[in-house]
Amino acid sequence: MRSGFDRFVGTYLVIDHKPNKEEHSRLGITVSRRYGGAVERNRFKRLVREAFRLSRLEIPQGIDINVKPRSMAHQATLRGVLEDLRSLVN
């Protein structure tokens, strides 16, 4: 693992995060081809972006967040991703 990152594993997500020098939090999403085709990868990214948007006020400010899918993420709903994101980052 890269130094300075904290890693948290949830039902659908693996989240690495570390402090940044900005006043806001930033989101990164990493989905490899191993996860599936372009349709599956893009669906996962849309779910994560929407969950991040809805959680903006609850996520601590000034952190960089990188999200990766777990194998269970294929069955993920917005609610599941939202719960994972909120519980793992806070």
What single string gives the DSSP state of each residue in 21-48? SSSS-EEEE---GGG--HHHHHHHHHHH
Whether 44 is in a domain gets the answer yes
Show the domain range for 16: 6-89
Q: Which residue has tokens 């949830």?
A: 10
Whether 73 is in a domain gets the answer yes
Q: Which residue has tokens 């893009």?
A: 42
Whether 28 is in a domain gets the answer yes
Whether 77 is in a domain gets the answer yes
Whether 54 is in a domain gets the answer yes
pLDDT at 31 over 70: yes
The pTM of this model reads 0.90
- Residue-wise pLDDT tens digits, 33-50: 999 999 999 999 999 999
Contacts for 53 with CB less than 8 Å, ≥ 6 apart? none
Q: Read off the CATH number of the domain in which 24 is found.
A: 3.30.230.10
What is the tally of structural domains in the chain?
1
Whether 1 is in a domain gets the answer no
- Residue-wise pLDDT tens digits, 46-67: 999 999 999 999 999 999 999 9
